[in-house]
Each structure stands twice: as structure tokens, then as C-alpha cells.
């Protein structure tokens, strides 16, 4: 219950921490966009539909801090900033894609499992997808 005692999950469980980051609302989408090719802030914002300026900034800062993304400022008259994946970032994309590929591939199986579950439970969760 108290957080001081984090022996059970071997310290702070970096795996869970990393997956939380990767699994947050925007990180993956941003990374995927940057993998296609480097982009400026506004480009990124347009590419990732629905992200707020604040969240894009926060997401990019976190990625930069972890050494996954570089931030390059070009002191042009209207300042422009380019974001790009680092080598570390590109490497990380590999296992992420592997997992993503598995999910895509098995989406039908998951979907039918859900139908079965929802049918016999009568719940109308209906898969959020606004």
C-alpha cells in the first residue's frame, strides 16, 4: 500500500514504466509519424489528428528526454523546429512494430472474443471509438 516498499516488482518496474509511456495517448502516433520522416512542430500537429499543442509538447519533451527524439532549432525568421527519431528511437520502433503487427494480425480473433464475451454478458460496451 505504501509506495516506499517497492521490492516486489523489482524496484520501480522499468518495463511497466516504459510501456506506460509507449502506451500513452499520443506517443506511438508521434513516433510513427517521425519514423516516416522528420517533421516540424506544426507538421506533426497536423499529422497527428486531434492532439493539443500542450500534449504534443509534453510528448515530444518526454521522447527527447529519453533520447528517442532530437529537437533541432533553425533560427529562421519565423523560427522552425525539426523533430526526428534518434538511432535509439529507430531501434525501439522495431519491437514496437512487432507488437503492433501481432495486434493487427490478431484483431479478428480479439474482436470475435469480445463479441462472444459481450453477447453472453449482455453488456453493451461497444468498443469506444469516438
Binding site for its own copies (CB under 8 A): 1-3, 5-9, 11-16, 18-25, 28-29, 32, 36, 48-50, 64-68, 88, 91-92, 94-104, 106-107, 109-110, 112-114, 116-118, 125, 127, 129-130
| Cβ–Cβ < 8 Å for 31, 89 | yes
Rounded least distance, CB 25 to DNA, Å:
4
User: Quick one: what does residue 3 bind among DNA, its own copies, none, with the CB cut-off 5 to 8 Å set by partner type?
Assistant: its own copies
Least Å from the CB of residue 112 to DNA: 22
- Give ∠ CA 23-9-1 in degrees, rounded to 5: 95
Residue 72: contacted member of its own copies, DNA, none (CB under 5 to 8 Å, by partner type):
none
Q: Which is nearer to DNA, 16 or 115 (CB)?
A: 16
Which residue, 54 or 77, is less far from its own copies as judged by CB?
A: 54
Determine phi and psi for 97, rounding to 5 degrees: -65, -40
Secondary structure (DSSP) of 43-112: HHHHHSTT--HHHHHHHHHHHHHTTSEEEEEE--SS-EEEEEE-HHHHHHHHHHHHHHHHHHHHHHHHHH
The C-alpha atoms of residue 119 and residue 113 are separated, in whole angstroms, by 10
Q: Of its own copies, DNA, none, which one sits near residue 23, judging by CB under 5 to 8 A according to partner kind?
A: its own copies
Amino acid at each position: 500500500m505504501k509506495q516506499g516498499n517497492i521490492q516486489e516488482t523489482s524496484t520501480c518496474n522499468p518495463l511497466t514504466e516504459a510501456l506506460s509511456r509507449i502506451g500513452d495517448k499520443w506517443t506511438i502516433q508521434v513516433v510513427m509519424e517521425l519514423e516516416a520522416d522528420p517533421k516540424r512542430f506544426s507538421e506533426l500537429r497536423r499529422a497527428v489528428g486531434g492532439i493539443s499543442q500542450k500534449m504534443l509538447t509534453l510528448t515530444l519533451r518526454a521522447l527527447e528526454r529519453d533520447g528517442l527524439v532530437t529537437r533541432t532549432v533553425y533560427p529562421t525568421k519565423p523560427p522552425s523546429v525539426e523533430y526526428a527519431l534518434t538511432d535509439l528511437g529507430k531501434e525501439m520502433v522495431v519491437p514496437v512494430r512487432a507488437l503492433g503487427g501481432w495486434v493487427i494480425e490478431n484483431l479478428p480473433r480479439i474482436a470475435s472474443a469480445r463479441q462472444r464475451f459481450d453477447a453472453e454478458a449482455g453488456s453493451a460496451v461497444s468498443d469506444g471509438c469516438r
